[in-house]
Amino acid sequence: MTGPEADELTVGDEVDVEVGPIAHGGHCVARHEGRVLFVRHTLPGERVRARITEGGPGDRFLRADAVEVLTASPDRVPVRCPVAGPGRCGGCDFQHVSTEHQRRLKADVVAEQLQRLAGIEREVLVEPLDDEDGLRYRTRVEFAVVDGRVGLRRHRSHEVVPVTGCPIAVPEIDEALVETLADVERTRGELDGISALDIVVPSAEADTVVVEVPTEEPTPPIAITERVATPAGERVLGVDARGFWQVHRDAPRAFVGAVLAAADVRPGERVLDLYSGVGLLSVPLAEAVGPDGQLIAVESDRRATEHLRDNLAATPQALVVCGRVDDLFGVPRRGRRRGPRRPARSDLLPPSADVVVLDPPRTGAGRGVVEALTSLRPRRLVYVACDPAALARDTGYLTGLGYDLTGLRALDAFPMTHHVECVATFEPKGEDARP
């Protein structure tokens, strides 16, 4: 196939390319006459016809979709969703990939990011959770509402692809969506003023919750309960219907187990749980330190903090601090011009800690927060990461500050997508190690 020269490529042009390695973000790297293309809906080793979707002459790289497979990978499978593929729903990156190979691709990305950004060579294995072939695991889905249409957004777009269900969602979500759409049609109801429908299947309740998200005002609080197993027994935690909670039905169990094993908390210790949400990890950590220890949980979202306090009410050894982690440690915020003085460090945070657990947002903790955490000289630091690049950057900071990456588990909490959750363990190097 002939086509435009590489430096003339623009949106809509098509070129045939050999597909190279997987990259962070759900696409593969290809080159056309030396020009870099990030191509979705393909696999390493394939030859595809790629249609440019973003970029043009002068741009450093272009984005593209594989609209025709010329030579297929043996790991390619038929898509398991009617709206997956080029120009359709942007929620799933790997519907065309066998679930086993999806995990290998994610492992490659984690390993590549650690090597490139932290200088660490490490073999990575991505562990499956309790799902059936990567389907029917998601207990929370937000469906967009645009001009009366309900669906999921196209990749990197505000456009909506109408749907009546989602194959990665638990069946109750499909049932609730169909019933809601039928109610709107039967009553000739309007969806004006509604930007989204959040459908949630709480693990500790019998009913499915449908939240109509207003376009121009905050969503009122809707308290629900979720169930999680801890070493001390099953616990029921309160959370807002639109608040943060792991979407995979098996993720709470898996994350609690992975973090507790990595932290190896001893009775009587002081533990910090940062970016703690409603306390998925705080509750079992507080139980682990026991009545003679201390658990300090830090969360910035006020609605989540209210639930956090309630969820920790039975553990008097737990202290809840509401605020941003960087602010509380006196770290200037990213992108904010520094004044003549650094922010004051909060007196609510201790001068030392035995164990630090952190689950920062996708952007990571950052150098300033990492420096503040290592100044506490914890014997163990457990980092829960939803972004391999952010984890690798912060790993580089930690190794430069005297901590070794001594453990790493990667969990496939988001099958059919490029996302992967990691639990990394860091300990002081050599002579700095504490008993």
Burial 90-117 (b: 16+ CB within 10 A, else e): bbbbbbbbbbebbbbbbbbbbbbbbeeb
Task: Indicate if 422 belongs to the active site.
Answer: no
What is the 8-class DSSP label of residue 36? Answer: E
Helix axes 302-311, 282-289, angle to 10 degrees: 40
CA distances from 102 to 37, 112, 298, 413, 422 (A): 21, 15, 34, 12, 15
Q: How many helices (H) and strands (E) does the chain have?
A: 8, 20
What gap in Å lies between CA 244 and CA 237, rounded to an integer? 12
Report which of 118, 121, 90, 93 is spatially closest to residue 106, judged by C-alpha positions: 93
What is the 8-class DSSP label of residue 169? Answer: B
Q: Which of 28, 81, 89, 386 is catalytic?
A: 386
E strand intervals along 117-261: 126-128, 140-146, 149-153, 160-162, 194-200, 209-214, 223-230, 233-240
Cβ count near 410 (within 10 Å): 24
E strand intervals along 81-159: 126-128, 140-146, 149-153
By CB atoms closer than 10 A (0-12, 13-18, 19+), residue 337 is exposed
What gap in Å lies between CA 250 and CA 260, rounded to an integer? 16
**Catalytic positions, written as ranges:** 386
